[in-house]
């Protein structure tokens, strides 16, 4: 192989690996069933947007994201999570498997970010709407709870 051809191949490989390093998730859809006596079907759709520039993190990876939308469907009822409930959740991670309780409520849990900015969050849904959110800032065991009324949807 000539030196010129080797250089072209190496540049192509470097360019391709750089493109992969810049990729980010745009949308994740999770579907399943709760295998209790009712076998409720659920789907959870996460739609992401690039995170805005942050002070002190000008060289932050372009893969950092925030939520553009979070939509939960339980059986045939779709719940659009209000933007106010997701706007502060930076760099969210994949969720844990949701849990369903006999009273008809569902819990969705996941964490996000890293280091001092890390968090865990639990969303609680019931009667076709978001009922509350428990937000656990980095290394705390006591949540900051936000309750949602029907008017907030």
What CA–CA distance (Å, rounded) separates 32 from 30? 7
The predicted-structure confidence for 44-69, as pLDDT tens digits, reads as follows: 999 888 877 766 666 666 667 888 89
For 62-105, the pLDDT digits (tens) are 667 888 899 999 988 999 999 999 988 888 888 888 998 888 88
Residue 28's pLDDT is what? 87
pLDDT at residue 5 tops 60: no
**Is the model's pTM score more than 0.75?**
yes
> What local confidence, expressed as pLDDT, does residue 125 receive?
96
Contact assessment for residue 100 and residue 106, using Cβ atoms and an 8 Å cutoff: yes
Q: How many other C-beta atoms are found inside a 10 Å radius of the C-beta of residue 24? A: 13
Q: Where are the domains of the chain?
A: 25-152
């Amino acid at each position: 192989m000539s030196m010129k051809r080797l250089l072209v191949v190496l540049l192509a490989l470097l360019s391709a690996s750089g493109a992969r390093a810049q990729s980010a998730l745009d949308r994740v859809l999770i579907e399943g069933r709760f295998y209790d006596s009712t076998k409720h079907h659920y789907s959870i759709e996460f739609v992401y947007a690039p995170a805005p520039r942050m002070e002190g993190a000008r060289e932050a990876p372009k893969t950092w994201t925030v939520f553009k939308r979070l939509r939960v469907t339980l059986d045939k009822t779709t719940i659009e999570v209000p933007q106010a409930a997701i706007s502060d959740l930076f760099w969210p991670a994949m969720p844990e498997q949701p849990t369903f309780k006999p009273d008809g409520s569902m819990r969705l849990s996941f964490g996000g970010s890293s280091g001092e900015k890390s968090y865990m969050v639990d969303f609680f849904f019931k009667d076709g709407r978001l009922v509350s959110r428990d937000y656990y800032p980095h290394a705390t065991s006591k949540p900051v709870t936000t309750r949602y009324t029907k008017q907030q949807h």
